[in-house]
């Protein structure tokens, strides 16, 4: 086990192991998405208040969860890279940013499209929506900062510091619906006690949440492999790999 992690720290082995995982992750993710969509779009009943519009939830809520989850992973990986100078952690942090930005964008846009028929407006400047928008700007800031500096290691360090500072936004987003009055509904799944949601709605929601987690894992490994190749371009194993391709 220890040897496995040690090998994972070396770029060459990471590239190989991640490459072996990618097709399996893609297959598992694809199966879960299809199953989740079937359960969510066909099996789950119509909501008694929101009609069929609530089916946007099956992408909106997992996207919003992922936007927070990926940010925490990115900041943690950035911190590990800063403290222990672990190159692979830097790579994971930087590869996470565009995926997190994508999910944040999806959470915002699908929330907006859901808000129009339910709230009567595309957007309100309330705590939940505003803090989620700030999250998008944090992701974009991390990406911009990383690409603005030529030296990759300095760039990764600067981006990691920004990511770590931005972590204060995460609890604000999570608790915003409880701390402030808002149009956004409160949590129905993570609150204590039984979730106040029909099981036939809860199952596809959780399946989609797992599918999105796998999707993140898949794409972050794909991105990290490219980033590793680029950083190790002068290493012998990369030269040999280029010769063979």
Partner 1 sequence: MNLQAFFHMGGYAVYVWSSYAIALVVLVANILAPLRQRRRLLRQLARRQRRERRQP
Residues that bind partner 1 (CB under 8 A): 41-42, 46, 51-53, 55-56, 59-60, 63, 98-99, 102, 105-106, 109-110, 113-114, 116-117, 215, 218-219, 222-223, 225-226, 229-230, 233, 238-239, 242-243, 245
Closest CB to partner 1 among residues 11, 82: 11
Buried/exposed 228-241: b ≥16 CB within 10 Å, e otherwise: bbebbeeeeebeee
Helix/strand/coil (H, E, C) string of 37-77?
Answer: HHHHHHHCCCECCCEHHHHHHHHHHHHHHHHHHHHHHHHHH
Using alpha carbons, select from 78, 139, 75, 128 the residue that is nearest to residue 105: 139
Read off φ and ψ for residue 233, nearest 5 degrees: -55, -25
Using alpha carbons, select from 71, 83, 91 the residue that is nearest to residue 153: 91
Closest CB to partner 1 among residues 95, 176: 95
Closest CB to partner 1 among residues 42, 168: 42
Min dist CB 192 to partner 1, Å, is: 30
Min dist CB 55 to partner 1, Å, is: 5
Closest CB to partner 1 among residues 185, 245: 245
Residue 143: count of CB within 10 angstroms of its CB: 16
Min dist CB 216 to partner 1, Å, is: 9
Min dist CB 180 to partner 1, Å, is: 25
């Amino acid at each position: 086990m220890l040897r496995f992690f040690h090998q994972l720290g070396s770029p060459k082995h990471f590239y190989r192991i991640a490459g072996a995982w990618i097709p399996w992750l893609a297959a598992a993710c694809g199966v879960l998405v299809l199953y989740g969509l079937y359960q969510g779009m066909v099996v789950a009943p119509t909501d008694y208040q929101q009609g069929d519009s609530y089916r946007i939830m099956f992408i909106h809520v997992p996207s919003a969860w992922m936007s927070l989850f990926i940010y925490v992973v990115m900041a943690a990986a950035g911190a590990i890279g800063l403290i222990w100078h672990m190159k692979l952690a830097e790579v994971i942090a930087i590869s996470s940013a565009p995926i997190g930005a994508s999910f944040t964008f999806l959470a915002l846009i699908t929330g907006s499209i859901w808000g129009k028929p339910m709230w009567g407006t595309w957007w309100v400047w309330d705590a939940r929506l505003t803090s989620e928008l700030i999250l998008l700007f944090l992701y974009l800031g991390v990406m911009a900062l990383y690409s603005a500096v030529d030296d990759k290691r300095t760039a990764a360090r600067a981006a990691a510091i920004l990511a770590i500072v931005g972590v204060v936004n995460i609890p604000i987003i999570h608790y915003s619906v409880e701390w402030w009055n808002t149009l956004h509904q409160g949590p129905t799944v993570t609150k204590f006690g039984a979730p106040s949601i029909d099981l036939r709605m809860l199952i596809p929601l959780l399946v989609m949440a797992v599918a999105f987690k796998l999707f993140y894992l898949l794409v972050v490994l794909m991105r990290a492999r490219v980033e590793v190749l680029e950083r190790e371009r002068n290493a012998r194993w990369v030269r040999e790999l280029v010769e063979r391709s």
